[in-house]
Structure 1
Amino acid sequence: MKKKTIILTLLAVIFLSGCQSMNQADSQTKEDVFEYEDSLIGDNSAIINIIGQLEHSEEFKEVTLQSKEVPYGMTLTYEGIEQTEIEKEYRETAIYNATFLFVLVENAEWAAFQFDDQEYKLTKEQLSKWYDTDLSGLSNEQEVKDLIQEAMSEESKVEVLF
């Protein structure tokens, strides 16, 4: 009986410390998206890690990288996004994710987003003009989020982009 109690106690301690380290890893991952700054289109691991920290990463299905000829870019496919204003959500996701990808992936010039029944393509040049900002000059996650939030606060500005 005493051995069972000791074993159960040890298992509980191991389980709880494992959960704690997972939570720490998750929160650290969310904070370190700029760890992948200056990545290149050919670095599949970095691209996947960046996408895993962006909007709707749970619905992300695949990425196809165009790294054989210039301009370099990528096509991201998402499935199963559920929202009441779905087209608005698709557009906002495309803007948000493309902005981060262009800031972090040095040689990415375009990003296409395929959703269940819609497709959007954005270029780095197009977004830089839209924001009136050189995206390569952004240096931290909060700066990027603030830029996105300010630009997307005007619905008519989002409409002009598409």
Structure 2
Amino acid sequence: MGLAVLVACSPAPKQNKFVSYSGPAVTQIVVNKGARRMHLLHGTTVLKSYDIDLGNEPVGAKRYSGDGRTPEGIYFIDRFNPRSAYHLSVGVSYPDVNDKLRAQLVGMDPGGDIFIHGKGPYGKAANRKDWTAGCIAVEDEEIEEIYAMLTTGVPIVINP
């Protein structure tokens, strides 16, 4: 009897990672790396805020592939990956022309594949702060909301 009650009280596993959103359009994303916070805004109104993890070298702007840093600057949401290894992911348009030029001047590849993503199967290993290779990570349930709220072309401002 005790086991039946325990099983009956356990939450059912989530069947669908795609949620819907019908609120105001997100017109900008602001990431404050130092505070480890990301805000989704409609105009000047904050719609949602999230605690974030960053690249494993969180101080300074991304300069080249493999430096472990999260970019700083103004970018745009440019793609969506429903089959992400990190549950779901939303692409950031890094590198831009200036990032490419800066890396080229020192003979390096600027890197790429910067995303806002969940933790996916890396959740337990990702319980430490700043574990990504340069991406912005949130909880899986949070990336589901973010994925539903965003559209391509939304600007993302990443501050130090």
Taking structure 2 as the reference length, what is the TM-score of the superposition? 0.26
The structure, 1 or 2, with the larger RCO (C-alpha pairs under 8 Å, 6+ apart) is: 2
Larger Rg: 1
Structure with more strand by fraction:
2
Structure (1 or 2) with the greater helix fraction: 1
